Chain A
Amino acid sequence: MNETSKSVAEHWLAGQQAMWKPFFPWTAGQSGEPKPAANANPLEEQFNELRDTWQASVTKWTDFAKEAAQGELPSADKLREMFTPAAWAHGPGSGPGVVDAALQRVLEGPRYAVLWDLDRQLLELKKLTLQRDQAVAAYQAVVQKAWNAAFQRFAKALGSDPLASTKLTWRGLADKWLAVANDTLIDVHRSEKFIEAQRQMLRAASDRHLQERKIAEAWCEAGHIPTRTEIDELQRHVVELRREVRLLRRATPAGAIPAATVGARRVPARRPRTASKRART
């Protein structure tokens, strides 16, 4: 306990005693002063009880003040800091912790409830990666089967005329192989199995790509960086606005438009377009 805080405590105690003394001049510790008579009337009894209660209260508060005076009392600077709202946002320790955390969350942006949500997103990405890899493997299996068929056909073609095959040059052999492989692969490429395997592969790749983007965009949002989706939307607005400007220009007589807007170009009236319409999918 330093000297400053000791003097503050003593000063506070003296102040308290000075305040209560005029009300209870007979309080304990002031021996020699007259005490109430033993056979008092009921009103006196009640008053005595009230006195005792007050006395106990003063004792308790005095003890409390003494106890407090044993520890570190906050300095004037510390008290100022504690009650300065600006200091509340400086993190745990400098202000009431719960308020700090909530305030910090508001100030710093969204959290992943957050961490768990990110885990879930990453898990989904893993799942989609697995699905894509499976789709690629299924596609490759179809292609591999086609190659096997091509080899079989080629071997069969060579085997059917061993004499002719011995006359082939390496180039002749290569051309024969390419022709067989070409025909076989074209057959396979047109099969329902191949088309479906390729579709699944493409879809799985798109889904995975979009999930990856979702995670990237969550980080972007937390870091105050514009997301791909936001930029796409922005570009969409720009394209649509430009369309509207063009329509307005065309609908306006050329003379009514300031030269700076039109420049040297003059666009004759066109058949009017209704509002732009994107693909009906």
Chain B
Amino acid sequence: MPATRTSPAAKAVAELDDLNLKLARGQRMLRRLKDEDVQIATADKEVVFREDKTTLYRYKSTAKHTIGVPVLVAYGQIGRYTMTDLQEDRSMLRNLLALGVDVYAVDWGSPTRGDRWLTFEDYVDVYLADCIEHICRAHDLPAINLLGICEGGVFSLCYAALYPERVKNLILTITPVDFHQDQADGRLNHGFVNLWTRGLADEDIERLIEANGNLPGELMSYVFSQMTPGATMSKYNVGLLDTFDDEKKLLNFLRMEKWLADRPHHPGEAAKQLLVNLYKNNELVRGEFELGGRKVNLKDIKVPVLNVFAKDDHVIPPKTTQALRRAVGSRDYTEIGLDGGHVGVFVGGRSQGVLGKGIADWLRKRD
């Protein structure tokens, strides 16, 4: 082994030997792997409602329900909901099911140019609202538990503020609220999207959407890659090499790649609202964000709120989401700060037991 050798030449030979062995092992593993080995979002589920490109899934229970009111998981438009069920042992959804939660999830589909004119109103007032109505009717309930993730958390906040009677408990994970708190912690590697967006003139955004119809998923991937330049440039060399030690690691790597490559385009008009009204003008926390002529007042949210954030979230820095405490009208507000980054909270090995359990325990107390 390299560490036991002292002569530089011997060390170099040993290292080269190790490297070649790793490469050979990796090559053998990659040759053996098939497409079906890297499937994601495979938890058993059924389609219970469809509207345009939106699909509502209900997941098959894996344990006896211990919480009476179902949970609807709403992801955003910057990535796909499949991240919540990356693989069997890294799946927030499976963890919730195992803890007796009745889980629904909404998939917004993959927007195309034809969806350019969809706005936040369409997602909140129509698609999300209709999914919730469906669940309420199916269970004969006046309200359900709503769990929003990232931009889906913003949709959920808007919905809960506008239709408080339909939400029993509100759970938010890695959700931006005060878009201008990105540098409150003074961490340079945090909040690049906020800075990037503020650097754009409104007209730049207008022309970008006009030229492309939507906010291209590839552009957002590119912006994200600039937040972690070291990881970006070492991903397919050093990073991939590290996975050649262990097939499980390699499969995890490939599944992550699959999710990342599946980044949807963000519908153009809704993207303008996200970038201009929220990121640039910070209208949500200021109570100025309007949907269909109505102001979204977060103080109208009086139901219990659980806010889960990642302590090292470089996309949604903790302070941008923790601002919710002061913004909502609820007296029952709880925060859970988890170790890890933006996506790591959901797919990281460390957070697997913590995230699902934290949510289920909190809900059980309020069921």
Contact = CB atoms under 8 A, between A and B. Distances in A.
Interface of A: 166, 169-171, 174-175, 178-179, 181-182, 185-187, 189-190, 195-196, 198-199, 202-203, 205-207, 209-210, 213, 232, 235-236, 239-240, 243, 246, 266-268, 270-271, 273-281
B272 A281 contact: yes
A210 B292 contact: no
Interface in B271-303: 272-273, 276-277, 290-294
Interface residues of B, number: 60
Given A190-B195, A206-B211, A273 B234 contact: no
Contacts of B259: none
B206 A278 contact: no
B94 to A, nearest CB: 30
A279 B11 CA distance: 61
Given A166-B8, A202-B204, A277 B210 contact: no
Q: DSSP class of A's interface residues: helix, strand, loop or mixed? A: helix
A279 B238 contact: no
Contact of A232 (B116, B276, B290): B116
Contacts of A279: 119, 269, 272-273, 276-277
20 contacts: A170-B12, A170-B19, A182-B229, A189-B227, A190-B188, A196-B199, A198-B196, A206-B210, A210-B207, A235-B117, A239-B122, A243-B122, A271-B163, A274-B294, A277-B292, A278-B272, A279-B119, A279-B272, A280-B290, A281-B206
B334 interface: no
Given A182-B229, A190-B192, A277-B292, A267 B199 contact: no
Contacts of A196: 199
A231 to B, nearest CB: 8
Contact of A181 (B210, B227, B229): B229
Nearest to B165: A271
A232 B112 CA distance: 12
B208 A202 contact: yes
A267 B137 CA distance: 10
Closest 5 pairs between A and B when the two form their complex, measured CB to CB: A182-B230, A274-B293, A273-B292, A279-B272, A185-B229
A186 B199 contact: no
Contacts of B192: 189-190
Contact of B277 (A166, A171, A198, A280): A280
Contacts of B208: 202-203, 206
Nearest to B230: A182
B292 A274 contact: yes
A184 to B, nearest CB: 9
A272 B121 CA distance: 12
A279 B267 CA distance: 12
B271 to A, nearest CB: 9
Contacts of A170: 12, 15, 19
Contacts of B276: 279-281
B335 interface: no
Contacts of B233: 178, 181
B116 A235 contact: yes
A199 B238 CA distance: 31
Interface stretch (B29-37, B124-132, B357-365): B124-132
A178 B199 contact: no
